[in-house]
Amino acid sequence: MTLALALLLAGCAAGQGGAGRTPAEETTASGTEETTVLQGGGNPRRPPASALSYGGQDVKGTLGSYCWSSGNSYGCADSIWPLIPSKQKTLTVPPGSEMVFRYGGQSPPNTVEVRAYALKKLQKTGAHRPDSSLTTRGSGVQRTICAALPPGEYVLEVSVKEQQDDAAYYFRVVVE
């Protein structure tokens, strides 16, 4: 278990220019998330909260895995897979509708990528392969996502990348 954690964290750090750094302050684990603070001490800043909305409905995203920095602190957290938001956080939309993703950061992300996973298939197999990639439009902290999906229940994974930081947010969406 410790070796798997070390490999996961090293992989995340290597992908973000953190290879060769050593854990400095603390490592915490709680069923769904593991965090390591690297160089500089203190607690790294967590990614900002984000939301998805349609027709007056608004749901807050469930934060998944991320690597984030603040000053000279850098940290990564890995979430369990699959990460399925609760039913209370479900957004209902018609097929082909346009949802709005609002990133809570102060500056716009460099990229926003959206993948859709059919919920039944995800629960049954835990597959890491998305059923569809959705297109996004816009720039800035607000992006439009087209719900080009057949009717059904989905988990949307919205991956956001800033300069050296990245985070994944998960949303439960019913297309009907």
Residue 158 CA to residue 167 CA, distance in Å, equals 8
* Beta strand 50-54 pairing with 33-38: unpaired
CA distances 164 to 9, 66, 67, 129, Å, are 15, 11, 8, 25
pLDDT in tens, 141-173: 999 999 999 999 999 999 999 988 999 999 999
More confident residue, 28 or 64: 64
Question: Beta partners for 174?
Answer: 92, 153
pTM above 0.85, yes or no: no
Residue 5 has pLDDT above 50, yes or no: no
Rounded (5°) CA angle 143-161-76: 135
Residue 62 CA to residue 45 CA, distance in Å, equals 16
What are the residue ranges of helices labelled H in 16-91?
A: none
Q: How far apart are the first and last CA of the chain?
A: 42
Q: What is the pLDDT of residue 70?
A: 82
Q: What is the pLDDT of residue 7?
A: 37
Task: Report CA 82 to chain centroid distance, whole Å.
Answer: 12
Q: Count the Cβ atoms, other than its own, within 10 Å of residue 22.
A: 8
pLDDT, average across residues 56-71 = 94
Q: What is the pLDDT of residue 44?
A: 54
> In sequence order, what are the residues at sequence separation of 6 or more whose Cβ sits closer than 8 angstroms to the Cβ of residue 87?
172
List the structure tokens of 26.
Answer: 């603390």
pLDDT band at 67 (very low <50, low <70, confident <90, very high): very high
pLDDT in tens, 73-127: 889 999 999 999 999 999 999 999 999 999 999 889 999 999 999 999 999 998 8
Q: How many structural domains is the chain composed of?
A: 1
Taking a C-beta distance cutoff of 8 angstroms, is the pair 59, 88 a contact?
no
pLDDT in tens, 12-47: 333 333 333 333 333 333 344 444 444 444 455 789
Residue 26 CA to residue 33 CA, distance in Å, equals 14
Domain that holds residue 48: 2-175
Query: φ, ψ for residue 4 (rounded to 5)?
Result: -60, -40
Domain of 90: which CATH number? 2.60.40.1220
